[in-house]
Amino acid sequence: MMGQDDDFVVCEDGDEVDEWCYVFDPVLEGEESPRVNFSCLTPEEIIQTQKRQIQEIADLLVISPSNASNLLRHYQWKTELLHQRYWDNPEAVLKEAGLVCTTPDADEVLTLESPGECLVCCEEVAGPECCALKCHHRFCNDCWNSYLTVKIKEGEVARINCPAVNCKFSVPDTVVRDLVDKDIYEKYLRFVTRSFVEDNAQITWCPAPRCGNAITTDMLKGTVVQCRCGFRFCFSCHNEAHSPANCEQVKNWQKKCSDDSETGHWLGANTKDCPRCGVFVEKNGGCNHMTCRQCKHEWCWMCIKPWKGHTDYYACARYEKAQKKKAEKLKKNKKQSKMEQLEAQREEKRKALERYLIYYTKYLDYDAKLKNSPAETEKAQAKMKALQSEQSTLAEVKFIEAAVEMIFECQSVLKYSYVYSYYIEDNSSEKHIFVFLQEELEKTTQNLMEILESPVILTRRTETVDLTKLAQTKKDNLIYGVQHGLVENE
């Protein structure tokens, strides 16, 4: 893609100076569009979606909704897998899930009329005060209540088996409803609903704090979705939206930023061991005369020898002489001494740390800007409200809101662009193209931020709208380039 003149077009920006914008080829015919369909479900909609799915399975398999719910939980709400296995061998599927009843109107428990002994408390109990599944294991209602209550409070609702030892029969929802207290049954239903989201590969909770919504989509890999609360996140790893970096890069970056190994990396690059006691000593300026705070040993930073005999505080004759000898020796023998190896390793660590800090600083800069987005949103809304009260309608000032939202999207992409760029090999063709796209997006985003600060923003409406579209184009180009390759494979 690089190297052809027609890969570059001039993007008009009102009366401003034309900006060059790198444009990738459009989505080829037959390729899927990067935009995907997803739905945001409120807690009430989650329950309705769950009930609808249960009823569809019950109608299709001609079983009770209670058994359909148990089957779906057993197969982690994977309806296609359940369909396939059920029609291949219905009896085996029901047995595996601990179910017996197959018709909607079939009794799920035995009718007990005569008294019998409870297998838990060993008390003789009248028939109406007992309950037994099709496995014929009889328990009194009090023991049932205690057993089910404990299971529900512990969150074990995916499958509750008969209390009998080694019995694989599953307790139907209707039995749970009839044998536990109302508040416990409501908790049971909440756990079942939670399993509908957490065990379902096509649904996930919104990770935003205090948000109870869920997102459902058929696209499972690399999909960025947005909840109704406004939070944008990756459907695959549940982190905030991190394009253009992939999930693995974000995982490694987060580990790198929080790992103690970075502290060790800094120590190795910026400190030396005291030659007497071994404590870490940092030299952040000044002369080469070092005095250890712990053992009071005085030594030279350059040659690591005792300070006695040194006359120059800013140059070490011993070190320079040793370096000359080593240079001459290196010509004869290319094998490095242990000291040279340590120095080479220290220099390598220092360069690696400096490189990391460059990207980390920019990452933190955009992270801080995004954390300030609620305040910026309030500021924009206040400006829109003031303009409406003076001379405009809501439709005429809506472009301000669109521009602010575009700034946040671009800042998010730029934040993680430094994560992606960190893992690209320096001085490669891919790095050069990516940095160009990155700088172009930064420049346009900054211009858009500056124009929103204008006191006569209404007179620059067309310019703002055009700049918002330009930012959208550059953001999409950067992401598209990463997803489809910044350079052509030779």
Would you please indicate which residues are annotated as catalytic (active-site) residues? 287
Strand partners, 104: none
Query: Residues of 190-211 as b/e, b for ≥16 C-beta within 10 angstroms?
Result: ebbbebbbeebebbbbbeeeee
Tally of residues, the chain: 490
DSSP track, 205-264: E--STT---EEEES--SS-EEE-TTS-EEETTT-SBP-TTS-HHHHHHHHHHHH-THHHH
Spatial CA neighbour of 207 closest among 170, 177, 250, 238: 238
SS3 string, 300-337, reads: ECCCCCECCCCCCCCCCHHHHHHHHHHHHHHHHCCCCC
Closest CA to 202 of 330, 94, 87, 41: 41
Residue 378 burial class via C-beta count within 10 angstroms: exposed 0-12, middle 13-18, buried 19 and up:
exposed
d(CA 150, CA 171): 14
Contacting residues for 40 by C-beta, under 8 A, at least 6 apart: 206, 213, 214, 215, 225, 226, 227, 228
What residues form DSSP beta bridges with 386? Answer: none
Token pair belonging to 69: 């719910």
DSSP state of 357: H
Tokens 């924009």, residue located? 380
- Cα separation, 150 vs 144, in Å, equals 10
Among 384, 404, 401, 396, CA closest to 445: 404
What does the DSSP assignment read for 409-426? Answer: HHHHHHHHHHHHHHTSPT
CA distances from 203 to 77, 78, 232, 318 (A): 10, 11, 15, 68
Question: H or E stretch including 117?
Answer: strand 116-117
Letter for the amino acid at 436? F
